[in-house]
Chains A and B, each alone.
Chain A
């Protein structure tokens, strides 16, 4: 709670009451000091501003607060000795949420501050729901990884970015071997536990700025930015070994799990860069080869040829 009031008596009254109601209070004697506090990142969410102040008055302060970058809403209570309708309208139009006419009494102040608090709490609730929904809409509920739509979008975006920056882009398609058997023998709950554990091991095998998504049931798409072919090969092998190295501990006992991985590195060749779909297709083809060649292995797409083919196809 910020209080900007030049009159020492009203400043003390407000401070005393609000502290009694357990608000954290910052008191300031003029509008300019208040403005510099309100611009800070962790500024108070509620402000009581006196209309008449030296330097910057309450009305101008309201206008500045409202012209700020959209962020957390600030609730503004304007304090005025003026009682005329025109003044009140001017205050509200400048962006005040509510006003209080001096001399106010303790009950009125408390009621108005509570009203403001309700608005701010409502906004907090909405923002946290929004954040939660944003997360849910982009993430896989079971594993917490990016979901199909999100990882596909990320691949597109990173392919475009890599093309522009001239960086290589690594793409892996990973599929658990014989996952159906785990589900069939131990049940879906155990199958889910295995998927969660494998997801964790995948995340542990890549850099924290790489993207790991659950592309389908037991299929994962991994996008590695600024990743050379040799770094990609090392990462893929590390991931395969990490997953097959230790059986997954479940309620049904330890279950050995292996994974097959198809890899491709996108490179710029001449003016063209492979599109996200091309990379996806190449990684998928490599994954098929890994399955056909006995599973629990990594196969690589012939990247340079793939890139020039896509270049030729684009012409």
Chain B
């Protein structure tokens, strides 16, 4: 996958509220990294589903895939990516996908940045 450069104005903190997520897990860092690994395996599938749903203008499928992503991203503290998927979920719910492709591209960028950040942090911690 081609990874676009992260946007300059998105600080690591906004990209990824990791501390908060670890706190939610009762401070269990080990579990947190395990969840990140699961996420890194899972999110490409969801992203692919979402992209396909947008391409096929399937609003219900957009809502479902975006909903799952939103939940996971929110849980792992990925604030910006979670916001983008929430917006997509809402578009699916409203059955108005006119701006979905644009939002999807933004979500992809956030996820790519998150992916890198997770890899780097995980490498540094372990």
Contacts and interface: CB of A to CB of B under 8 A. Distances in A.
Contact of B38 (A12, A104, A105): A12
Interface residues of A, number: 17
B71 A103 contact: yes
Given A13-B35, A105-B24, A8 B71 contact: no
Scoring B31, B42, B64 by chain A CB atoms within 10 A of each residue's CB, the highest score goes to B31
Given A9-B35, A9-B39, A9-B42, A81 B24 contact: no
B67 A9 contact: no
A106 interface: yes
A8 B38 contact: yes
A102 B24 contact: no
A10 interface: yes
A9 B72 contact: yes
B68 A12 contact: no
B51 interface: no
Contact of A106 (B25, B34, B67): B25
Interface residues of B, number: 20
B71 A12 contact: no
Given A81-B67, A81-B70, A9 B25 contact: no
A102 B76 CA distance: 12
A52 interface: yes
A15 to B, nearest CB: 10
A105 B75 CA distance: 9
Interface string A6-20: 111110110011000
A16 B38 CA distance: 13
Scoring A81, A102, A103, A107 by chain B CB atoms within 10 A of each residue's CB, the highest score goes to A103
Interface string B62-80: 0010011011101110000
Contacts of B72: 7, 9-10
Contacts of B25: 13, 105-106
A9 B76 contact: yes
Contacts of A12: 31, 34-35, 38
B123 interface: no
Contacts of B67: 52, 81
Interface in B14-45: 23-26, 28, 31, 34-35, 38-39, 42
Contacts of B26: 17, 105-107
Contacts of A6: 68
A102 B25 CA distance: 13
A241 B49 CA distance: 83
A13 B42 contact: no
Nearest to B70: A81
20 contacts: A7-B68, A7-B71, A9-B35, A9-B38, A9-B42, A9-B72, A9-B75, A10-B72, A10-B75, A12-B34, A13-B25, A81-B67, A102-B74, A102-B75, A103-B24, A103-B74, A105-B24, A105-B25, A106-B25, A106-B28
Interface of B: 23-26, 28, 31, 34-35, 38-39, 42, 64, 67-68, 70-72, 74-76
